[in-house]
Amino acid sequence: EAGVTQFPSHSVIEKGQTVTLRCDPISGHDNLYWYRRVMGKEIKFLLHFVKESKQDESGMPNNRFLAERTGGTYSTLKVQPAELEDSGVYFCASSHTGPGSYEQYFGPGTRLTVT
């Protein structure tokens, strides 16, 4: 079974540019989460999809961040325009529904550097 994959692994962009991060969850997992870790701080929840619907986007920092999950499969997280404080590691995780759904499987993360 393939794990959660994220692309790219590392992105370096200039302030004001746009970046799109992609997450492919484990096949069949309806739940998809985005988290972010800023250097030296906690990993913070950004949002949660159930299939294609946004269940909870309370952690999204501002309207420069747009997440989508068309068709309920992979998800994208777009940052436009990027700011310096957006630098960090963006993690995606997925889980199935039902018993054992507390366990989230994480991707390797995308390290975003905004210069």
Residue ranges binding other proteins (CB under 8 A): 3-4, 31, 33, 35, 40-45, 48, 50, 55-56, 58-59, 91, 95, 101-104, 106-109
Closer to other proteins by CB, 17 or 31: give it: 31
Identity (one letter) of the amino acid at 24?
A: D
Tokens 């889980």 sit at which residue?
95
Closest CB to other proteins among residues 88, 107: 107
Provide the token pair at 97: 């529904």
Lookup result for tokens 């299939």: 51
Residue 113 Cβ, how far from other proteins at the closest point, in Å? 16
Strand partners, 78: 20, 66
Sign of torsion over alpha carbons 92, 95, 97, 98: negative
In whole angstroms, how close is the CB of 103 to other proteins at the nearest point? 6
Nearest to 15 by CA among 78, 83, 89: 83
Between 17 and 55, name the residue whose CB sits nearer to other proteins.
55
- Minimum Å distance from CB 31 to other proteins? 7
CB nearer other proteins, residue 65 or residue 82: 65
